[in-house]
Amino acid sequence: MSTRLANQGRLIDRSKQVTFSFNGTSMQGYEGDTLASALLANDQMMMGRSFKYHRPRGVVASGAEEPNALVGLGQGNRFEPNQRATTTELFNGLTSISQNHWPNLEFDIGSINTHLSRFLPAGFYYKMFIHPKPFWKHVYEPFIRQSAGLGKAPDKDNRDADTYEHFYHFTDVLVIGGGVAGLQAAKVAAASGAKVMLIEQTAHWGGRAPVDGGTINDEPVDKFVEQLVSELEAMDNVTMRNRCMGAGVYDHGYVLGYERLTDHKPGTQGPRHRLWRIRAKQVVTATGAIERPLSFAGNDVPGVMLASAMRDYVVNWGVTPGDRVIVATNNDDAYRTAIILKQAGVEVLRIVDARTTAGPLADEARQLGIQVDPGKAIAKVKGGKRVKKVELCNQEGIGGAREEVECDAVAMSGGWSPVVHMWSHCGGKLIWDEAQAHFRPDPSRPPLGADGEGFVLAAGSSNGPLALGDVLTDADAAGKAAAKAAGFTAKRTKAPVGETTAEAPMAAVWLMPANAEIGLRMKSWLDFQNDVKVSDVQLAAREGYESVEHTKRYTTLGMATDQGKLSNINGLAILADALDSEIPKVGTTTFRPPYTPISLASIGGEARGEVFQPIRQTPMHNWHDKNGADWEPVGHWRRTYAYVRPGESVHDAVNREVKNTRENLGLLDASTLGKLIVKGPDAGKFLDMMYTNMMSTLKVGKCRYGLMCSENGFLIDDGVVARIDEDTWLCHTTTGGAERIHGHMEEWLQTEWWDWKVYVANVTEQYAQVAVVGPNARKVLEKLNAQAGGGMDVSKEALPFMEWRDGKIGAFDARAYRISFSGELSYEIAVPASQGQAFWDALMDAGKEFGVMPYGTECLHILRAEKGFIMIGDETDGTVIPQDLGLHWALSKKKEDYLGKRAHTRSHMADPDRWKLVGLETVDGSVLPDGAYAVGEGVNANGQRNMIGRVTSTYYSANLGKGIAMGLIKHGPDRMGEIVEFPGTDGKTYKAKIVDPIFYDKDGEKQNV
């Protein structure tokens, strides 16, 4: 059984007991435990079920590479599925549940799949469930999807209780990984004066070395680490972070660091995760190496574990996964596990070494009384939910002549693979190291940075060296090289001297026994989580899925939550063998970020809830909000759609506003309209290029409506332009247009006509702008003026239609434009934004006697539609040109050039068959459905109904008491009076007459009073 040992446990504090629960059972652990070590200490060997066959799964590793021990962690709005028990620090009150089973972990209906596994090889679903066809949708797929997934989905109404944030950091050298290699590299890099950041994913510094033993500079490793850490902490130019994982390396030295701040103490004040966006001149990956499993039958039974992990459990947490252990290996390092277990009082039954010769560690093991079996292999592990016994055989051969040994745990080691993820994310290439049977970074093909030079260096075991001494010299050199590449001069210092027992060469063993018969191969797991076995990879190869990428996708090898950290190399070795090829030829799949999964919330950072996205507000925003505004998002702005009074529907409110504005007085907050100042000796010439009509001839004091097209000919914006003085114009844009058109102008000025003397400034937000509209508009202004004594003359004579004046309106400095988008007597009045609310209040107050009401954007739309005014975004959609809208009058014939002019001459744009703007009126007065299409005769070559037009705007006009609409109709202007049909999506067909688009006050008398 797995138990807590009486001694050992360098990371736990036995004086601090911690209570936690697993599947509802309360358990005890110590501070410093991981959830995995604590579960093992409680003899909880089985921790979950595998994905496909629902096989019992126990912990196999001790760190980030763990594929099996995944739990649902926490509860309610702190519940998180698929959390690795091996990297979860234990805390008081932790709750966890195991995953992927029903009804429970011990007895799982889904485990029937393991008995059917023979019928469910890789890719079986591509070959099945094809007939009968209807079964797919109703039987097969629902079934497949029911069995999908691993962890429980969080509750649908779950609102994450935590906050998250980002942080931008800039450093000369970033060292990823805080093992002895990372610490040493950081130290020498920092000694050069470079700014260094060192990040480590776990809560501890030192990595593997303190567990593996040996000495550094004749001191125990722990001591060396402690010293180095305090040295680094004392350096001003060094930033150290643990619980901070290097998640991904991206172009131009961008690295994501994933810092877990409160996962080990949930509920603490402050953000849960911080995503560091680090820019580093040089990145050193000192991410260590990961031990590989061995492929033998039953290597997935709970109790079979990586040798190094078993060693970690004993040394770091004082836990042994079993009482009677067998060690299987192809290298010397696993002997350390046997020795440590034995020294801790655990029975080590055998060391099964696939090689025929081992190094001095083997002698040490033998001296401790451990039986070493050279040339041997595990044929099969027996046991269901935990290891019961092991059948041993010769490594050579197919696995006959077996010897059975009873035991309760197996430690396996297939050699070590450098963690090359960070090296590879941004394009670093690998080479195959034949002696150690692993891929390691190819220093001649690093990822390239902005300057085209390599910006990542690997150090320590992540670069290939495995022996402590080599690791330290390598790291020392890498740290110095990184400092140099970042522009610093490294100090000439000696690397620390690491000493451990010398090791004999490992031997590549990809299958145990070497020629295992099919029955064994079908039980030899490669990918524990996704249930990919040796036989699956061989099947893929046989069926032509020969590329390693095909094999991956066909078998799902390496696609589980661990991303193949344990399985990939073993899998591609099997593939190479099946293809009769070589491992480096087969190559690896692509390493992609993140290194281990990171929370989606951390990626979003602070952008949630209130600050999810900016909401732009006008100076009168709060007033609108308090006065019934039904909000409409327009770009990032919020505008009032209508002011809804208690007891009113939105529709009622709109109708009321429409009528009142025509009959009395309406106020519109028009502050969002863009206002651009264009000034300079060449401003007139410039605006003549920007607008389709002539702006240079506009007289000072006057306004002109202008159209803008893109160079491609399409309408992009419109608005009223006012000439302020000899070389200054003020251009109004649509709400969405302010920044866009400002940018557009700057672009042309800076990149095409840079010798033109023009400056542009965006003054949109300097002003609050209010449209004062309706027959009483002048009266209210005059009243304000009278109240304050004097002011601007707003009479018809002093301020005629399409002119503007500066002056005082009431007590306010204002600029009044006599323009009208409603067809009524109308003034658009700009006051400083800081006066906006006061001005609005004054108008509301003075307007009472004139029947003032604020109105929203929908009313604005209806008023303009009654007048047949087009709206950018309604009548236009990016495919409409001025000619379509009957705006020929705004296309200057005098100007040789303006943006869009050339485009309009292309054959399709000059085509007389283009749909053209008309008014539409249903024969029964009802409202045409928005977006409806008019149909013509017959169908086209693709069998679609022929269409001859569409509705662009449609409203109920309370003033006219009927539906009115505008639309684009083929040959429309020539078809006045004709009836066209618009099939609705409601099954009805709407009949509408083609009419003039001006429905109200055709002669424009009302606006010009």
Ligand X SMILES: NC(=O)c1ccc[n+]([C@@H]2O[C@H](COP(=O)([O-])OP(=O)(O)OC[C@H]3O[C@@H](n4cnc5c(N)ncnc54)[C@H](O)[C@@H]3O)[C@@H](O)[C@H]2O)c1
Ligand Y SMILES: Cc1cc2nc3c(=O)[nH]c(=O)nc-3n(C[C@H](O)[C@H](O)[C@H](O)COP(=O)(O)O)c2cc1C
User: Does the protein bind another protein through residue 359 (CB under 8 A)?
Assistant: no
**Contacting another protein within 87-126 (CB under 8 A):** 118-119, 121, 124-126
**Which parts of 275-314 interact with another protein (CB under 8 A)?**
277, 279
- Residues in contact with ligand X by the rule CB under 6 A: 176-182, 199-202, 207-209, 212, 245-246, 286-289, 333, 416, 419, 422, 460-462, 466-468, 471, 503, 595
Rounded CA gap, 370 and 353, in Å?
13
Residues 525-564 that bind ligand Y (CB under 6 A): 549, 559, 563
Answer for which of 150, 349, 506, 731 binds another protein (CB under 8 A) is: 150
Closest CB to ligand X among residues 104, 343: 343
In the complex, least distance from residue 546 CB atom to ligand Y, rounded to whole angstroms: 16
Q: State which of positions 856-915 bind another protein (CB under 8 A).
A: 873-874, 877-879, 896-897, 901-903, 905-909
Shortest Å distance, C-beta 412 to ligand X: 14
Q: For residues 129-168, which are near ligand Y according to CB under 6 A?
A: none
Nearer to ligand Y by Cβ, of 566 and 802: the residue is 566
DSSP letter at 799? S
Q: Which CB atom, from 676 or from 995, has the smaller least distance to another protein?
A: 676
x/- map, 713-732, another protein, by CB under 8 A: x-------------------
Query: Contacts with ligand Y: how many residues (CB under 6 A)?
Result: 6
Residues 6+ apart with CB under 8 A from 459: 175, 177, 181, 182, 184, 185, 284, 285, 286, 474, 475, 477, 478, 479
Among ligand Y, ligand X, another protein, none, the one that 460 touches (CB under a kind-dependent 5 to 8 A) is: ligand X
Cα–Cα dist 449/430, whole Å: 17
Beta strands in 635-787 (DSSP E): 637-643, 665-669, 674-679, 703-709, 715-725, 728-733, 759-762, 767-773
CB of 601 to ligand X, least distance (A): 19
Dihedrals phi, psi of 280, to nearest 5 degrees: -120, 140
Provide the mask over 592-611, with x wherever binding to ligand Y is found by CB under 6 A and - wherever it is not.
x-------------------
Out of another protein, ligand X, ligand Y, none, what residue 207 binds, judged by CB under 5 to 8 A for its kind, is: ligand X
Cα–Cα distance, 897 to 688 (Å, whole number): 8
Of 112, 153, 497, 798, the one binding another protein (CB under 8 A) is: 153
In the complex, the smallest distance separating the C-beta of residue 193 from another protein, rounded to whole angstroms, is 12
Q: How far is the CB of 60 from another protein (least distance, A)?
A: 18
- For residue 985, give the 3-state DSSP assignment: coil
Q: What is each CA distance from 115 to 109, 111, 749, in whole angstroms? A: 11, 7, 73
Residue closer to another protein, measured from CB, 216 or 918: 918
Burial 684-712 (b: 16+ CB within 10 A, else e): bebbbbbbbbbbeebeebebbbbbbbeee
Q: Which residue has the tokens 């306010």?
A: 812
- Only one residue has tokens 């509802």, namely 24
**Total residues found in the chain within this entry:** 1009
Identify what 133 binds: another protein, ligand Y, ligand X, none; CB under 5 to 8 Å per kind: another protein
Site string for another protein, 618-647 (x = CB under 8 A): xx------------xxx--x---x------
Binding segment for ligand Y (CB under 6 A), chosen from 10-18, 463-471, 587-595, 614-622, is 587-595
Residues 6+ apart with CB under 8 A from 453: 485
Contact with another protein (CB under 8 A) among 761, 798, 979, 1009: 761
Q: How far is the CB of 4 from ligand X (least distance, A)?
A: 24
Contact between residue 150 and residue 561 where contact means Cβ atoms under 8 Å apart: yes
Q: With respect to ligand X, which residue has the nearer C-beta, 63 or 997?
A: 63
Identity at 478, one-letter amino acid code: A
Residue 168 CA to chain centroid, in angstroms? 17
Query: At its nearest, how many Å lie between ligand X and the CB of residue 452?
Result: 25
Listed residue (106, 40, 2) closest to 407, CA to CA: 2
* DSSP bridge partners of 917: 968
Burial of 171 by CB count in 10 Å (0-12 exposed, 13-18 middle, 19+ buried)? buried
CA pair distance 509, 395, nearest whole angstrom: 9
3-class DSSP state for residue 751? helix
Q: Name the minimum Å distance from CB 908 to another protein.
A: 4
Letters for 818-857 (x = contact with another protein by CB under 8 A, - = none) are: --------------xxxx-xx-------------------
Q: Which of 64, 69, 486, 493 is nearest to 288 (CA)?
A: 64
Q: Residues in contact with another protein, total (CB under 8 A)? A: 179
Stretch that binds ligand Y, among 114-122, 378-386, 589-597, 673-681 (CB under 6 A): 589-597
Tell me if 811 contacts another protein by CB under 8 A: yes
Considering the complex, state which of residue 5 and residue 935 has its C-beta at the smaller distance from another protein: 935
List binders of another protein among 480-519 (CB under 8 A).
518
Question: Smaller CB distance to ligand Y: residue 557 or 829?
Answer: 557
Residue 16 vs 906, nearer CB to another protein: 906
- Rounded to an integer, what distance in angstroms lies between the CA atom of residue 474 and that of residue 45? 38
CA distances from 451 to 251, 252, 253, 282, 909 (A): 11, 8, 10, 12, 46
Alpha-helical (H) ranges within 612-682 are 621-626, 650-663
In angstroms, give the least distance from the CB of 943 to another protein: 6
Per rule CB under 6 A, is residue 19 in the interface with ligand Y? no
Q: How far apart are CA 253 and CA 450, in angstroms?
A: 8
What are the backbone dihedrals phi and psi of residue 860, each rounded to the nearest 5 degrees, phi first? -55, -45
Q: Which of the listed partners (another protein, ligand Y, ligand X, none) does 13 bind, with a CB threshold of 5 to 8 Å by partner kind?
A: none
The answer to whether 983 and 948 are in contact (CB under 8 A) is no
Which of another protein, ligand X, ligand Y, none lies near 176, with the C-beta cut-off 5 to 8 A by kind? Answer: ligand X
Tell me how far, at minimum, the Cβ of 290 lies from ligand X, in Å: 8
Nearer to ligand Y, 516 or 559 (CB): 559
Residue 586, interface with ligand Y (CB under 6 A)?
A: no
Minimum CB separation of residue 598 from ligand X in Å reads: 11
In order of 241, 436, 442, 462, 482, the CA distances from 439 in angstroms are: 28, 9, 9, 10, 22
Which residue's CB atom is positioned nearest to ligand Y?
559
Residue identified by tokens 């042309």 is: 748
Does the footprint of another protein cover residue 471 (CB under 8 A)? no
| 209 or 760: CB nearest ligand X | 209
List the structure tokens of 133.
């066809």
Kindly state the tokens that stand for 286: 């000192």
Rounded-to-integer distance, Cα 489 and Cα 139, Å: 68
Interaction partner, residue 400 (ligand X, another protein, ligand Y, none; CB < 5-8 Å by kind): none
C-alpha to C-alpha distance for 710 and 732, rounded to whole angstroms = 17
445 binds another protein (CB under 8 A): no
Q: Which of 158, 590, 622, 697 binds ligand Y (CB under 6 A)?
A: 590
Q: At closest approach, how far in Å is the CB of 688 from ligand X?
A: 59
Minimum distance from CB of 591 to ligand Y (Å)? 8
The CA–CA distances, whole Å, from 608 to 81, 604, 605, 614, 954 equal 21, 7, 8, 11, 36
Q: Going residue by residue from 775 to 804, which x/- string records binding to another protein, judged by CB under 8 A?
A: ------------------------------
Binding site for ligand Y (CB under 6 A): 549, 559, 563, 589-590, 592
